[in-house]
Amino acid sequence: MPQKPFNGAKIVTKEEVIAAMKECAVSLGHAPSFPELRKLTQVILWDIRKNFGTYGRALQACDLKRHGGGYKLEMRTLFQEWAEATRSLAKVPTMFEYEEQGGSSCRALMRRCGGWSNVPIRMLEYARQEGLQGEFADVLDIVATRLQFPTGRGRPTKLPTSMPTKPKIMVDQPMYGEPLLDSPLMCAPINEMGVVLLFGAMALQLGFYVIRVQPEFPDCEALRRVERGRCQLVKIEFEQESRNFLVHNHPPTGCDLIVCWSHNWPDCPLVVIELKSLVGKLGLGLEQKLILPEKLTADER
């Protein structure tokens, strides 16, 4: 088993962290995860944060890579690291606990899942899609228990005989949003792609003419009808929740408005259109008239 570098001396500088990580990589034969690095060296989480900010940046500084180039490989790696942290803690980890246990920054998971609160359900869905229920059955049981009892108060010891028990989450079945009535999208969006699809169906009635949609920030360019016979170009970022704009570190100067399903960022400096509050107001039928900006409330503008 590799010996701890520096003879147990305390590591304080960026150069010492890099030297320890490279020596650990040579000993292991691969780029170390943070738990491996912590086990074999004197490097602690504070050393990483102080000198690099995140573990991913520390790996970059050492010219080490833990992830492959494809989406499936990267998501598999993220899932395995999160699952290992969950298994080790015997509970769904917080952001701080995950960074202590896992080899990646929690930012990568938040980008994939649309926020930290969505990580458990997204990991459950990924395990089902990839057929990982057997290998990670214990982890999925922890996730299912957390999703059924999110307050942390545990299972009720006694229920009235007239009260039905809470439905058990089936880990081998997909998840759906709440059904939407009179909408081209059957169920409420549970990710950013659902928001994009729903906005596309509602765009004309909201006074938007989409010009371009792209994977780079901002997601969309569109003409917005500001009065009869007049339009202006706007740049739009789609988010499942408005506060994800902040989580994703998008610059507010490069965007005119956020289109989201749920608006939960009270101090947002940008215009926000919350589709959840508009679905019930729009019939979304083919004969519905275009909704002009003057007919929207101040918040919807």
Tell me what the mean pLDDT of segment 100-127 comes to: 78
pTM over 0.75: no
**Rounded distance between C-alpha atoms, residue 282 and residue 78, angstroms:** 39
> What residue type is assigned to position 39 of the chain?
K
Residues linked to residue 233 through DSSP beta bridges, in sequence order:
223
Q: How confident is the model at residue 240 (pLDDT cuts 50, 70, 90)?
A: very high
Give the pLDDT confidence score for residue 125 in this predicted structure. Answer: 82
Tell me what the mean pLDDT of segment 260-288 comes to: 78
Tell me what the mean pLDDT of segment 284-301 comes to: 45
**Rounded distance between C-alpha atoms, residue 169 and residue 124, angstroms:** 10
Give the pLDDT confidence score for residue 27 in this predicted structure. Answer: 85
**Rounded distance between C-alpha atoms, residue 301 and residue 294, angstroms:** 9
What is the sign of the dihedral through the CA atoms of 37, 40, 44 and 47?
Answer: negative
Tell me if 55 sits within 8 A of 34, measured CB to CB.
Answer: yes
Tell me if 190 sits within 8 A of 197, measured CB to CB.
Answer: no
Report residue 165 as tokens.
């028990």
Give the pLDDT confidence score for residue 195 in this predicted structure. Answer: 95
Q: What is the DSSP string of 87-139?
A: HHHTSPPPHHHHHHHSSS-HHHHHHHHTSGGGHHHHHHHHHHHTT-TTTTHHH
Angle, alpha carbons 70-73-75 (nearest 5°): 105
The mean predicted confidence, pLDDT, of the chain is: 77
247, pLDDT greater than 60: yes
Phi first, then psi: what are they for 294, rounded to 5°? -70, -15
Can you say how many angstroms the Cα of residue 232 is from the centroid of all Cα atoms in its chain? 32
Place of tokens 């969309």: 220
4, pLDDT greater than 60: no
